[in-house]
Amino acid sequence: MNELNYSPLTALLTFLGIVLLLFLLFRPGKGWFWLIQKNKESSRKVIIEDILKLLYHSENEEKSLNLVDITRTLKDPDDLIIDSINEMAEHELINLEGEHVKLTQAGSEYGLRIVRAHRLWEKFLAEKTGFAEADWHKIAEQKEHELSDADTDKLSARLGNPQFDPHGDPIPTNTGKMANVTGTLLSEMEVNSFGRIIHIKDKPDIVYRQILAENIHIGSHIRIVEKNANRVVFHSEGEAFVLAPIVAGNITVTELKKDVKVEENIARLSMLTEGETAEIIGISKEMRGESRRRLLDLGFVKGAKVSIELPNPLGEPKAFLIKGTSIALRNNQASKILILKD
C-alpha cells in the first residue's frame, strides 16, 4: 500500500461499510443471509406440511376450513398455497368438498406425524437444551419438517418415549396412539374450586408470552378466588394471579375433588427470609431436565428442612442450608422450589 494515498478517514469509512454490510447480512433473524436461507426452506414440502397440521388441528376442534381460511392463517404467498393444495388433492391427502378442505385418512396420518415431530422437538428443547421457553415453539416449527420417521422414533427413544410435551399436549406414539387430555378451561372454573394446571396453549404467541411472564406453569395447584367478566383471580403456590378471561381461556385445568388436600400456605424458596426455616414440598414442574436432577441430587427433596445460611452482597445467589451443607442458588432456581414455612 502506498502510504501517500492512505487517509485514515477512508480507511475508517471502508471499515464501517464492511461492518454495515455484515450487519445487514447476518443480523439475527432479519439478516439477508438468513432470509434467503429461509426462503429456500419454505419449499413446497414445508407448506404442505403446515397445511396438513392446520387442517389436523381444526378437524380435532371440529371446525372445517375453506381455502380463504387457510390462505389467511398461513403467512406464505397465496399462489404457493393454492398450488400446494392442488398438489395435495392430486396425492389424495385432502378432499375438496366445495369450499371446504377435508383431510383424507392418509392426510390425517401425515398430519399426525408432523404433530408428533413438533411435540417431541418441544420436549427435547425443554429437557436437553438451554433455549428459553418462549423460543421452543418457533424452533420446533422449523425442525418438525426436517425429521424422517426413523429420526422421530430415535428422538422419541432418546427422550424415554414421553407422553406429554412441555405444554401438556399429548405426544402421539408412532402408531398414532395418544393420551387423553380432559379438563376444564380456567376461564370456566367455579369460584372456590381447586384444580391442577394440565395444559397451556402456546398460540397465539402474545398471550402465551404473557402467561410465561406471569410464571404460571403446568402442574401447579390453584384455587379460584374471584371470577367476573373482566378478570379471573386465582391463588397458586403462595401467590395471587390476575388474568383477563381471554388469557385464562388458554389454560386448561383438571378439577381436584374437594377432599384432596391442597396446601394453601405453599410459598417459594425465594420468598424465605433470613431467620425463617421451612420444609420443602417439592420442585415445580417448570424446572426440567438436568437442572431439576441437580437440585434433587443436592438434597432439595420433599420433606427436607431449609433455611437461609448466607445472604449475598449483590442480592443473589443466596446460600441455603440444606442437609448440613450450604448450597448457593440463584433466584430463578429458588423461585421454583416450593416450601411450607414453619
Please pick, from the candidates 233, 270, 309, 341, the single residue that binds another protein as defined by CB under 8 A. Answer: 309
Is 313 one of the binding residues for another protein (CB under 8 A)? yes
Q: Pick between residue 51 and residue 295 the one whose CB is nearest to another protein.
A: 295
Is 1 one of the binding residues for another protein (CB under 8 A)? yes
Contact range with another protein by CB under 8 A, out of 71-79, 80-88, 107-115, 326-334: 326-334
Contact range with another protein by CB under 8 A, out of 67-75, 198-206, 240-248, 292-300: 292-300
Q: Pick between residue 160 and residue 204 the one whose CB is nearest to another protein.
A: 160
Cα–Cα distance for residue pair 238/339, rounded to 1 Å: 9
CB 126, CB 119: distance < 8 Å:
no
Burial of 20 (0-12, 13-18, 19+ CB in 10 A): exposed
Is 249 one of the binding residues for another protein (CB under 8 A)? no
- The three cell numbers of residue 62 are 371440529
Is 29 one of the binding residues for another protein (CB under 8 A)? no
Contacts of 195 (CB under 8 A, 6+ apart): 183, 184, 186, 189, 221, 222, 223, 224, 253, 254, 255, 256
CB 231, CB 308: distance < 8 Å:
no
Closest CA to 219 of 133, 336, 44: 336
Is 213 one of the binding residues for another protein (CB under 8 A)? no
Buried (b) or exposed (e) across 159-168, using 16+ Cβ within 10 A? Answer: beebebbbbb
Is 178 one of the binding residues for another protein (CB under 8 A)? no
Cα–Cα distance for residue pair 219/230, rounded to 1 Å: 25
- What is the closest distance, in whole angstroms, from the C-beta atom of residue 226 to another protein in the complex? 32
Q: Pick between residue 45 and residue 305 the one whose CB is nearest to another protein.
A: 305
Please pick, from the candidates 8, 29, 98, 204, the single residue that binds another protein as defined by CB under 8 A. Answer: 8
Is 275 one of the binding residues for another protein (CB under 8 A)? no
Contacts of 44 (CB under 8 A, 6+ apart): 80, 83, 84, 87
Please give the size of the binding site for another protein, defined by CB under 8 A. 58
Please pick, from the candidates 43, 161, 181, 340, the single residue that binds another protein as defined by CB under 8 A. Answer: 161
Judged by DSSP in three states, 243 sits in: strand
Which residues are near another protein by CB under 8 A?
1, 3, 6, 8-9, 11-12, 15, 28, 125, 128-131, 158-164, 282-283, 289-299, 301-304, 309-317, 319, 321, 323-330, 333
